[in-house]
């Protein structure tokens, strides 16, 4: 079906273009230090809160009953509002991986069970 093949390739090129424009595709999820984040309905637990600068991988599991989101915030104007990375729509019982290249400094991880609000914050330090 020529029109559909055309449209499929259009979508694929859109994907490629986005990757090129935002420089956000590729790379290995297993690189660098690995930290686990357990997001439940009322807690946000990290395996460690002191990380090494460089590539970091976060293995997230949702052990709660509601869908969750995990955000990694950096400081902006004295508050942790700048999104470094995020993962949305993590269903109960599922896992997700979040990767980020982190420079030394203070950050906050936020688990957002119910996908709303500021979330449950966990401060982390990167050295």
Footprint of another protein (CB under 8 A): 1-4, 6-8, 10-12, 14-15, 18-19, 21-30, 65-67, 81, 83, 85-97, 99, 114-117
**Structure tokens that stand for 35 in this block:** 């930290």
Long-range CB contacts (< 8 A, 24+ apart) of 84-88? Answer: 87/60, 88/115
CB nearer to another protein: pick between 8 and 48: 8
Pick 21 or 127: Cβ nearer another protein:
21
* Minimum distance, C-beta of residue 46 to another protein, in the bound complex (Å): 19
Question: Tokens 């599991």 correspond to what residue?
Answer: 61
As measured in angstroms, the least distance from the Cβ of 87 to another protein is 7
- Between 117 and 127, name the residue whose CB sits nearer to another protein: 117
What is the three-class DSSP state of 14?
helix
For residues 97 and 57, what is the distance between their CA atoms, to the nearest angstrom? 7
| Nearer to another protein (CB atom), residue 50 or residue 88 | 88
Burial class (CB in 10 A: 0-12, 13-18, 19+), 77: exposed
Minimum Å gap between C-beta 105 and another protein is 19
């Amino acid at each position: 079906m020529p029109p559909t093949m055309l449209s499929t390739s259009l979508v694929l090129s859109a994907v490629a273009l986005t990757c090129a424009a935002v420089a956000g595709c590729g790379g290995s999820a297993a690189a660098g230090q690995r930290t686990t984040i357990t997001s439940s309905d009322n807690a946000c637990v990290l395996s460690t809160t002191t990380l090494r600068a460089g590539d970091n991988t976060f293995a997230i599991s949702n052990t709660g009953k509601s869908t969750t989101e995990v955000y990694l915030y950096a400081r902006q104007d004295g508050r942790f509002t700048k999104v470094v990375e995020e993962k949305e729509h993590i269903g109960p019982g599922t896992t997700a991986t979040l990767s980020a290249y982190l420079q030394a400094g203070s950050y906050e991880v936020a688990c957002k069970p119910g996908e709303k609000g500021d979330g449950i914050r966990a401060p982390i330090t990167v050295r």
